[in-house]
Amino acid sequence: MSALISVNDLTRHYGDFCAVDNISFELSAGDILGFLGPNGAGKSSTMQMLSGNLAPTFGEISIDGIDLLEDPKAAKASLGYLPENPPLYKEMTVDEFLDFCARLHLISRSQLKTVCDSAIERCGLGDVRRRLIRNLSKGYQQRVGIAQAILHSPPVIILDEPTVGLDPIQILEIRQLIKQLGQNHGIILCTHILPEVQAVCNRVQIINHGQLVYTASIAELLNEDSTRYEISLNSSLKQTVLHEGDSAHTIFNNIEPIDDHSFIADSDLSADRTTAYIIAQNWGLTRFTRHQVSLEQIFIDLTTGDTKAGDTKALNETGLRD
């Protein structure tokens, strides 16, 4: 399957400062890619370059097979973009605004109503289509912003912080809409909200100091093999096991107590061998689970300090030269 977006060695300098440093990645149809990073990491510069609003210093961007730098008008026609603050004409009704946007996309007069009706239906705007945009809630205004981004059925949609300022119900509605759109489009979701990425996306990338420091599928993240376990023992044995003798320290490292009978520890053994050892020692095992790594912890580990892309293992897992 050919990539909808192909980015190669993308770099952006502001004077002597390198905001985006030689990043490469691809986006395919059906992908919902969570693009994460702390403030100042290079997210906004990357999104501006992908949308054609900022010229790269070096590198190549292809959108649906069209070189963005060589033929920007044709490439942008394959792109739908919702910036963090939707550029809405709030004195217009929803119908008027979407009709206006459709004309900007050069949609034929005969197709205008069909195209606008389809976007309104997909974004759940039917009940408010004749209302002034300025009188709509923040959630509905975000829906209007998404509707204008998908009017011309672009293969690629870029959403920058689409749920900022929404209440919990509105957030759930927008997440559901993004998942529905992801069935037929390639989507890049730029956000600070980590649970949103795990709830909506099937892939995640983290940028820090202008470099991609992590890239993996959500499935890989959730199923990543770990030798860190959460263990509960018979409460009368736990203290003896951990603090008297060397039996526990034979297989466990970095023991972290949770409560009177549970702890988290690293083991050099597989899960099967670890549980077999505990049972053989008659420690009264009552619970044993793999301590699953969280996206939040990965994000914190990779974006605090001076971590660089070359220091992480995850970049090699996709086969991309990020």
At 193, the amino acid letter reads I
Least confident of 5-19, 112-126, 269-283: 269-283
Residues 184 and 37 in one domain: yes
pLDDT at 245 over 90: no
The structure tokens listed for 125 are 């705007």
Global pTM reads 0.75
Q: In terms of domains, do 250 and 265 share one?
A: yes
285-290 and 58-63 beta bridge pairing: unpaired
Query: Of the residues 97, 116, 151, which one is the last residue of a structural domain?
Result: 151
User: pLDDT class for 307, splitting at 50, 70, 90?
Assistant: very low
Residues 33-53 have pLDDT tens digits of 999 988 889 988 999 999 998
List all residues 6 or more positions away from 152 whose beta carbon is below 8 Å from its beta carbon.
77, 80, 102, 105, 107, 115
Please tell me whether residues 162 and 53 are part of one structural domain: yes
Q: Please tell me whether residues 204 and 164 are part of one structural domain.
A: yes
φ, ψ (nearest 5 deg) of residue 137:
-70, 165
Tens-place pLDDT, residues 170-190: 888 888 989 988 988 999 999
Tell me the mean pLDDT in the region 76-96: 92
pLDDT tens digits for range 185-212: 999 999 888 888 888 999 999 999 999 9
Instruction: Evaluate if residue 2 carries a pLDDT over 80.
Output: no
The DSSP annotation for 132-147 comes to BGGGS-HHHHHHHHHH
Total domains present in the chain: 3
% helix, strand, coil for the chain, step of 5: 40, 25, 35
| Token representation of residue 48 | 């501006």
Quick check: 288 and 271 in contact, CB under 8 A?
yes
In a domain? residue 13 = yes
Q: Please give the Cα distance from 253 to 296 (Å, whole number).
A: 23
Average pLDDT over residues 58-72: 94
The answer to whether residue 259 sits within a structural domain is yes
Range with the largest mean pLDDT of 196-205, 237-246, 280-289? 196-205
Domain shared by 58 and 118, yes or no: no
Residue 298 lies in a domain: no
Residues 274 and 240: beta-carbon distance below 8 Å: no
Q: Quick one: 129 and 249 in the same domain?
A: no
Same domain, 147 and 158: no
Judgement on whether residues 144 and 207 belong to the same structural domain of the protein: no
